[in-house]
């Protein structure tokens, strides 16, 4: 049997340890938020997306932080991810982080320069409907 003094010391140490790690975790989360805010940049928005089966889609809007468009010459949505677990971040509107389709008239140096884009189905593929040559 553990003596009472040692038992109390052990329990207190455990609590302090847990409290310290929970404070440390909160601090790390807050720091991450500050850093993420510093990284926020302007980008075109994904105004609508009709691809309901994508995990980032809620009510025909994309809620990823940012999407990547393009697979060489095809303006497909590279971020498309087929699945049933839809985004919880429904209040967020996605931006176009990068676009690899240099043939599009809105593309400048592999970045999309228009104000907003729409994404939808084109046969079997999921693509940027704003694409123009
Ligand atoms: S834009 Fe792409 S990532 Fe966003 S919901 Fe549509 S298919 Fe998914
Ligand atoms: S509009 Fe053009 S440049 Fe912008 S994401 Fe679509 S394909 Fe890329």
Report strand pairing: 111-112 vs 107-108.
antiparallel
Residue ID of nearest Cα to ligand 1 atom 8? 80
**CA gyration radius, the chain:** 23
**Residue 36 belongs to a domain:** yes
For residues 24 and 79, membership in a common domain is answered with no
71-93 pLDDT, tens per residue? 778 999 999 999 987 778 888 89
Residue 44 dihedral angles phi and psi, to the nearest 5° = -65, 150
**Residue 14 belongs to a domain:** yes
Which residue has better confidence, 38 or 123? Answer: 123
**Residue 133 belongs to a domain:** no
C-alpha 32 to ligand 1 mean position (Å): 25
* Block residue for tokens 């510093």: 38
**Residue 78 belongs to a domain:** yes
Q: How many domains does the chain have?
A: 2
For residues 25 and 55, membership in a common domain is answered with no
> In 3D, which of 45, 39, 56 has the Cα closest to residue 94?
45
Among 20-24, 30-34, 68-72, 117-121, the range of highest mean pLDDT = 117-121
> In 3D, which of 132, 81, 77 has the Cα closest to residue 104?
132
C-alpha 49 to ligand 2 mean position (Å): 14
Please give the residue range of the domain that contains residue 123: 45-128
Residue ID of nearest Cα to ligand 1 atom 2? 80
> In 3D, which of 72, 119, 73, 126 has the Cα closest to residue 93?
119
**Residue 4 belongs to a domain:** yes
For residues 12 and 29, membership in a common domain is answered with yes
**Residue 117 belongs to a domain:** yes
- Residue 93, CA atoms < 13 Å, CB-side half-sphere: 10
Residue 112 CA, distance from chain mean position: 18
Report which ligand 1 atom has the smallest distance to the Cα of 49: 6
96-110 pLDDT, tens per residue? 999 999 999 999 999
For residues 20 and 73, membership in a common domain is answered with no
Residue 57 Cβ inside 6 Å of ligand 1? The answer reads: yes
C-alpha 114 to ligand 2 mean position (Å): 8
Tell me the pTM. 0.74
Residue ID of nearest Cα to ligand 2 atom 2? 131
């Amino acid at each position: 049997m553990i003596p009472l003094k040692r038992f109390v010391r052990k329990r207190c140490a455990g609590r302090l340890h847990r409290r310290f790690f929970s404070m440390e975790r909160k601090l790390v989360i807050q720091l991450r938020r500050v850093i993420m805010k510093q990284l926020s940049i302007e980008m075109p928005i994904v105004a609508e997306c009709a691809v309901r089966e994508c995990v980032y889609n809620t009510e025909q809007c994309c809620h990823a932080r940012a999407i990547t468009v393009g697979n060489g010459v095809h303006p497909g949505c590279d971020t498309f991810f087929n699945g049933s677990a839809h985004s919880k971040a429904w209040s967020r509107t996605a931006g176009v982080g990068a676009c690899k389709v240099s043939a599009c008239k809105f593309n400048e140096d592999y970045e999309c320069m228009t104000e907003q884009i729409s994404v939808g189905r084109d046969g079997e593929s999921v693509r940027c409907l704003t694409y123009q040559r």
